[in-house]
C-alpha cells in the first residue's frame, strides 16, 4: 500500500479476517446447497474478488454467471436508478440462484435484481453479501448470508471502489476523504 494515500484510509477488515469469514460463508452455503448446486450470479463489478474467493471454498459443481449493474456512477451515493451494464449469458429458468453481492446498502439494486430473477422464472433465489449496511436501507430486502454488518462508512478495497479505484486493495478500508461529488 506504499503508493496509496494511506492517510485517507482506515483499515476496517484485514485480509486475514476477510478470508476467515469467506471460508465460513462457504461452509454454510455448501451445507445448504448439498445435492443441488446453485448458479452463482456475481454482481459486477464490486463482487468479483469476493466471488473468486468464495466459489473456491465450495465443494459443489457451481456454474457462474455475471450480472453487471450500476447505481453509483462515479460518486459515493447511490443514484437510486439501476442500470444493467452486462446481462447473464445463459437461461436461468427453473434454477436455484445464489446472488453474490459485495455490499447491500440502500437495497434498491438488490430489490431490482431479485425482481429480475423472479421474472425469469427461477426456482429459488438467495443472497450472499460480503457486507451488509442496514442503516442505509430504503427498501427491505432479504440477505440470507452476511459476511460482515457495517455502519455508515464508505468502504473500498477487496473489489469495492470509489470512482473505479481501490478495488485491488487486499483488505477493506474506510475512505476517510471521498472525492467531492
Q: Does residue 87 have an active-site annotation?
A: no
Q: How far apart are CA 143 and CA 157, in angstroms?
A: 21
Cα end-to-end span (Å), the chain: 25
Of 105, 132, 144, 161, which is the active-site residue? 105
Please enumerate in sequence order all residues whose Cβ is within 8 A of that of 14, keeping only pairs 6 or more positions apart, or say none: 171
Q: What is the DSSP letter of 131?
A: E
The burial of 40, by beta-carbon neighbours within 10 Å (0-12 exposed, 13-18 middle, 19 or more buried), is given as: buried
Q: Residues with catalytic annotation?
A: 105
Amino acid at each position: 500500500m506504499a503508493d496509496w494515500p494511506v492517510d485517507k484510509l482506515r483499515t476496517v477488515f484485514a485480509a486475514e479476517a476477510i478470508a476467515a469469514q469467506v471460508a465460513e460463508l462457504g461452509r454454510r452455503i455448501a451445507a445448504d446447497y448439498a445435492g443441488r448446486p446453485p448458479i452463482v450470479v456475481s454482481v459486477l463489478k464490486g463482487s468479483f474478488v469476493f466471488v473468486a474467493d468464495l466459489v473456491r471454498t465450495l465443494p459443489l459443481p457451481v456454474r457462474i454467471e455475471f450480472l453487471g449493474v450500476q447505481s453509483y456512477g462515479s460518486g459515493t451515493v447511490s443514484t437510486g436508478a439501476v442500470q444493467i451494464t452486462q446481462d447473464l449469458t445463459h437461461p436461468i429458468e427453473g434454477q436455484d440462484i445464489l446472488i453474490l453481492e459485495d455490499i447491500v446498502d440502500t437495497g434498491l439494486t438488490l430489490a431490482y435484481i431479485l425482481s429480475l430473477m423472479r421474472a425469469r422464472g427461477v426456482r429459488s433465489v438467495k443472497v450472499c453479501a460480503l457486507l451488509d449496511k442496514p442503516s442505509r436501507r430504503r427498501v427491505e430486502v432479504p440477505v440470507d448470508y452476511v459476511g460482515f454488518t457495517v455502519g455508515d462508512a464508505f468502504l473500498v478495497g477487496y473489489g469495492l471502489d470509489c470512482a473505479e479505484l481501490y478495488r485491488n486493495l487486499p483488505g477493506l478500508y474506510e475512505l476517510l476523504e471521498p472525492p467531492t461529488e
